[in-house]
A and B are shown apart, each in its own frame.
Chain A
Amino acid sequence: MSDASLDGAKPRNSLLVADPHTRKRNAAEARFRAYGLGAIVISMIMLVILLSTILGGGVSAFRQTYLEIPVALDAAQLDKNGNRDPQDIRKILTLTYGKILQQALEQTIADKGIAIAGLSDKDVTGMISKEASAQLRNRVLADPELIGQTVTARVLVNGRVDGYYKGRVSMESAARDANTSPAQLQLADALKAQGMLATQWNWSFLTRPDASDQRPEAAGVGIAILGSLYMMLVVLVLAVPIGVAASIYLEEFAPQNRWTDIIEVNISNLAAVPSIVFGILGLAAFINFAGLPQSAPIVGGLVLTLMTLPTIIIATRAALKAVPPSIRDAALGVGASKMQSVFHHVLPLAMPGILTGTIIGLAQALGETAPLLLIGMVAFVRNVPSAPPDGLFEPASALPVQVYNWTQRADPAFIERASGAIIVLLVFLLCMNLLAILLRRKFERRW
């Protein structure tokens, strides 16, 4: 019974009309919800912008402009003795091949009757990449019979001309550029109209080594991919057995004492130590103290192993913990030793979780850059390392470090290459993460 109804006074509040205080509270509720939704939308937009700028800038690295011209391989210049002796042919340096390519291009321009006002010799020479002569030389060395013939050569063009067809270089910017000129771009357009110049899919980006500052058009991520692969191999061989063994001990055997406590605190702290500190450790311990070679995948792999160990240990322990104690009890009940119960029953059941954690740890290691900078992986490497195990001790690059390397170069064409290398890196990461998700889906077991 309410006093309000007794004395006949009207109630101050109606259930049907919200009073100002309620309206204020409801508005605050709506605002709060909007903040939350806004935060999620902002982070999604950031993700989209991040990926689209990188992908948008890097896709063009997978296309490359080539010039196809007939080249007369003059025997008088390339093989003076006329006996096609590989030793003699090897003595002819790329300089001569550069001249031959230049003559071939000039011949082509004359044959096709291309006339461009203000076209200088430098424009014609500069049209062809400096890398092209080396490629032609390698082709001749591989097949000396070509000498004396006229072959169709597919040669790389200068990075600026390549950039012109990718929208990076315009006639206006070319006029201000010392490395190209509007006349050179007009020549490229004229050659393109003749069907001799085309921008095509660029496999060599994935296979070629890095190139020097002046030749962005020839740079590729071949050695970087190989180096990253070698390092992942080292991490896989070392981090997985050690990590799994450590987790088994800590989860199944370790007594509750101070030593175990110290190890556990240590592992959780190691997981949060900045990656660059591991680089300092690698430099001091592996290179300065142990005398391992700089820039070698083995050092990078060791550093990354130490870095991924905590991740793998944490994931493996979670997987071991998820196996119900009844399994262990049943094994012990039928007379297995503790060791047998773990290795014959618990470990196989925890395997999917361990695999997933391992792959995620590897993906983390693959994208890590900072520690590799300190152990000399920034070096300029042109020689493809040999197969493991010897190749592990030879200089190599790594994908993320290659990206960093290219961002430090002056030519803007290298930014395109860096974005392209990131695409390669992200594709690898995507594959690894998809594999982890698939494994989890396929083998996940609820107890």
Chain B
Amino acid sequence: MPASWTLLIVLALAGAGYFVTRARVIAQAGGDVRRLHSRPSYHGWNAALLTALPALFLIAIWRFVQPAANVTPVAILALVLAAAGMGLALMRSAPGFRARNAVEATVKGLLILCSSIAILTTAGIVFSMLFETGQFFRQYPWHDFFFGTTWSPRFGGGSQLGILPLLWGTLYISLIALAVSVPIGLFAAIYMSEYATPRLRGVAKPMIEVLAGIPTIVYGLFALITVGPMLRDYFAQPLGLGSSGSSVMTAGLVMGIMLIPFVSSLSDDIINAVPQSLRDGALGLGSTQSETVRKVVLPAALPGIVGAVLLAASRAIGETMIVVLGAGAAARMDLNPFEAMTTITVKIVSQLTGDNDFAAPETLVAFALGLTLFVITLGLNIVALYVVRKYREQYE
């Protein structure tokens, strides 16, 4: 593989540059390193960076932009660049050369570059989805997408791709998940921060955090093989509400369990941030502990808790594996929670797995769905972070 060979040669050149330049400046200083502006290793590093960086960037950019093209000319160009960089560094090396400043400026540039990758990622997400969504709307009218109530993709033309049934399923499942996780998570957080002995806290907190560390595919399998059949056999069928193992209830319950640690750890932080003086004041006036919590601590923590719930909601809306395995694939707008429904994420997965034809609206719709999902969760996150931040400023 010529690319990896080029890489190795460039790195070897950089290493050689380091030692040669270092030896050269020491020789120029007559062995007395005090006569140098920078310590010898900085001269070496300067040479190594000058040798390696331009060549490495060239290889990386080339690999990303044109991976299939012939690599030999690029490899030669990279080697020439490396040799030129090394030559330049050797030429400039002199006892008075400010090698440390040069190295530090380069390193700082690299640090800035690395921190910009977050921006690049966001830009990549937005542009890749905008581009494909634009293609989709050129083939499919936008009002039918946003206001259509039927979802029936047909790979042959004549598909109806209305987002409303998917949105309904997503919101319904998220609502059930929040109805499970918010009370449980909030009460657990209150108990742990206000009542629990250190010993109970030491056991309960890690155990709840274990729930947070379990991958979502495990929850999905749990929904598929345990919760779904159980709900079907003991609730849905006796009540005559349906006979499907995958249902809104299954996915909602399991997602609720997944969100418990999320809600509880966020609320825990927020409740602990309420100043002790408020509690002391309420207790000193004769209120019981629960009255203190309900009438003083919770109102003071309310904005933060609202923020936590919004973050949990955004998690629920974007969750994929639990709904893929637990909620079913039928796009339906129904109130019966024991009926199988589907979500935006499920449809993204089903439209984009397998062999895709990236010119057909049935495939491109996944990007429009993804963009919708991204906008919804981003909006929720921004509101939540704004609420949480505003609240924190009050006490700190």
Could you give, for residues 237-260 of chain A, a 1 whenever the CB lies within 8 Å of some chain B CB and a 0 otherwise? 000011101111110011000000
Could you give, for residues 276-299 of chain A, a 1 whenever the CB lies within 8 Å of some chain B CB and a 0 otherwise? 111111011100111110000000
Please indicate the chain B residues that have their CB under 8 angstroms from the CB of A415 in the complex: 225
B325 touches A269 (CB 8 A): no
Partner of B213, one of A288, A368, A378, A429: A429
A39 touches B183 (CB 8 A): yes
Could you give, for residues 272-291 of chain B, a 1 whenever the CB lies within 8 Å of some chain A CB and a 0 otherwise? 00000000000000001111
Could you give, for residues 91-114 of chain B, a 1 whenever the CB lies within 8 Å of some chain A CB and a 0 otherwise? 000000000100010011011101
Count A interface residues, CB 8 Å.
90
Is B211 engaged at the interface, CB distance under 8 Å to the other chain? Answer: yes
Partner of A54, one of B188, B218, B317: B218
A245 touches B111 (CB 8 A): yes
Within 8 A of B (CB), among A273-332: 273-281, 283-285, 288-292, 306, 309-310, 313
Is B1 engaged at the interface, CB distance under 8 Å to the other chain? Answer: yes
Partner of A306, one of B115, B121, B211: B121
Partner of B260, one of A46, A49, A266, A275: A46
**In whole angstroms, how far apart are the Cα atoms of A284 and B4 in the complex?**
26
Given contacts A274-B320, A276-B348, A306-B121, contact A50 B219 (CB under 8 A): yes
**In whole angstroms, how far apart are the Cα atoms of A279 and B261 in the complex?**
25
Please indicate the chain B residues that have their CB under 8 angstroms from the CB of A25 in the complex: 288, 291
Q: Shortest beta-carbon distance, B98 to chain A, in Å?
A: 11
Please indicate the chain B residues that have their CB under 8 angstroms from the CB of A274 in the complex: 314-315, 317-320, 345, 373-374, 377
Partner of B320, one of A37, A276, A433: A276
A280 touches B348 (CB 8 A): yes
A363 touches B213 (CB 8 A): yes
Please indicate the chain A residues that have their CB under 8 angstroms from the CB of B257 in the complex: 43, 46, 50
B128 touches A284 (CB 8 A): yes
Please indicate the chain A residues that have their CB under 8 angstroms from the CB of B196 in the complex: 40
Is A403 engaged at the interface, CB distance under 8 Å to the other chain? Answer: yes
Is A28 engaged at the interface, CB distance under 8 Å to the other chain? Answer: yes
A46 touches B367 (CB 8 A): no
Within 8 A of B (CB), among A348-393: 363, 366-370, 373-374, 376, 378, 389-390
Given contacts A270-B118, A422-B218, contact A276 B318 (CB under 8 A): yes
B190 touches A404 (CB 8 A): no
Given contacts A54-B222, A369-B321, contact A36 B382 (CB under 8 A): no
Please indicate the chain A residues that have their CB under 8 angstroms from the CB of B147 in the complex: none
Given contacts A33-B290, A276-B320, contact A245 B219 (CB under 8 A): no
A246 touches B114 (CB 8 A): yes
Please indicate the chain B residues that have their CB under 8 angstroms from the CB of A235 in the complex: none
Please indicate the chain A residues that have their CB under 8 angstroms from the CB of B366 in the complex: 280
**In whole angstroms, how far apart are the Cα atoms of A232 and B228 in the complex?**
33
Q: How big is chain B's contact interface, by range?
A: 35 or more
Please indicate the chain B residues that have their CB under 8 angstroms from the CB of A26 in the complex: 288
A273 touches B125 (CB 8 A): yes
Chain B interface main SS type: helix
**In whole angstroms, how far apart are the Cα atoms of A238 and B232 in the complex?**
46
Partner of A35, one of B129, B187, B215, B315: B187
Is B20 engaged at the interface, CB distance under 8 Å to the other chain? Answer: no
Please indicate the chain B residues that have their CB under 8 angstroms from the CB of A333 in the complex: none
Given contacts A40-B188, A273-B378, A281-B124, contact A263 B217 (CB under 8 A): no
Is A60 engaged at the interface, CB distance under 8 Å to the other chain? Answer: no
Q: Shortest beta-carbon distance, B123 to chain A, in Å?
A: 9
Within 8 A of A (CB), among B330-366: 345, 348-349, 352-353, 358, 366
**In whole angstroms, how far apart are the Cα atoms of A17 and B374 in the complex?**
61
Is A214 engaged at the interface, CB distance under 8 Å to the other chain? Answer: no
Is B370 engaged at the interface, CB distance under 8 Å to the other chain? Answer: yes
Is B155 engaged at the interface, CB distance under 8 Å to the other chain? Answer: no
A38 touches B187 (CB 8 A): yes
A367 touches B111 (CB 8 A): no
**In whole angstroms, how far apart are the Cα atoms of A277 and B319 in the complex?**
11
Q: Which residue of A lies closest to B101 (CB)?
A: A337
A–B Cβ pairs within 8 angstroms, 13 of them: A29-B288, A43-B260, A44-B208, A46-B211, A50-B219, A50-B222, A245-B111, A273-B125, A280-B352, A310-B118, A370-B320, A419-B221, A429-B214
Interface residues of A (CB under 8 A from B): 25-26, 28-29, 31-33, 35-40, 42-44, 46-47, 49-50, 53-54, 57, 241-243, 245-250, 253-254, 262-263, 266-270, 272-281, 283-285, 288-292, 306, 309-310, 313, 337-339, 363, 366-370, 373-374, 376, 378, 389-390, 400, 403-404, 407, 415, 418-419, 422, 425-426, 429, 433
New contact pairs (14) apart from A249-B111, A309-B121, CB-CB < 8 Å? A28-B290, A35-B187, A262-B119, A263-B118, A268-B381, A274-B318, A280-B352, A339-B108, A363-B213, A367-B216, A367-B218, A369-B320, A374-B353, A378-B353
